[in-house]
Amino acid sequence: MTKIDRVLVSVDWGLEFPDCILQALSSGVSDHAPLLLSSGPLFHPKKRFRFEIYWTKLQGFDEAVRDAWVCSDTITDPFQRLDALFRNAAQALQAWGQRTTRNIKLLMAVATYVTCRFDRAQEDRILTDQEIWLQRTLKLALLGMASLQRTIEHQRSRMRWIREGDANTKLFQAFANGRRTKNFIPRVKVGDDMITDQSQIEAAFSSAYENLIGTDQARDFTLDLEFLGIQQMDLHELDVIFTEEEV
């Protein structure tokens, strides 16, 4: 019953196949369990919303949140309204973040390539004033994008002992990919059935929590608060937004 079967991969391989999954199959007549390593699994997990810390430092963040914090007037239940507001804000913020920052790695690669062409051109001729300005602008942009990339990887890695100035992005990405694979649920057992389809797994979890929470039903008995003589309290202040004095 000891764990002697292993699959060893390098950091570069893990970055090349971040969605790989390792499963132990049935041992059968042997005392060893064969390991199945899938580098291209059939499942496509949904990307959950992640609030990026650097968004608050970008121009237009407050306006994006203000414009996204809306929902339909037909929703009257306060909990459903709050849920709709959060969902709409998350979807709008994610789209706004992608439009604002775009693909950082691609932008860094383009800036690095153009800067390299300028460096090679300097060996044969003197750069013009416009080319010098563009070269300096690209280098400054590279520094900013590299700092932003480290901030993103640092947030996703959740490694407190690594500071934001560390440039070991491969280590950051390896831990981030490992945590994402670890959090994935490949199968769920419901009764005697083993469910592997992602939509059916979501339905099973939803049904389980609905059974735990229960449904709204009419009460057979109620309390006559007036007969008990309990003094009514004015609680309208509980719905008021927090003020700076209270904080």
Could you read off the pLDDT of 208-239 as tens digits, one per residue? 988 888 777 788 888 887 888 878 888 888 88
Dihedral sign from CA coordinates of 116, 118, 119, 120: positive
Q: Are 176 and 156 in contact (CB under 8 A)?
A: yes
**Collapsed DSSP state (helix, strand, coil) of residue 85:** helix
Task: State residue 161's pLDDT score.
Answer: 46
pLDDT at residue 195 greater than cutoff 80: yes
> Residue 100: which of 165, 55, 51 has the closest Cα?
55
Task: State residue 241's pLDDT score.
Answer: 83
Q: Supply 173's token pair.
A: 């990405």
**Collapsed DSSP state (helix, strand, coil) of residue 12:** helix
Q: Are 153 and 126 in contact (CB under 8 A)?
A: no
Instruction: Give the model confidence (pLDDT) of 66-120 as tens digits.
Output: 998 988 888 888 888 888 999 899 989 888 888 887 778 888 888 888 888 888 8
Global pTM exceeds 0.75: no
Place of tokens 């300005």: 133
Mean pLDDT of the chain, nearest integer: 80
pLDDT at residue 160 greater than cutoff 70: no
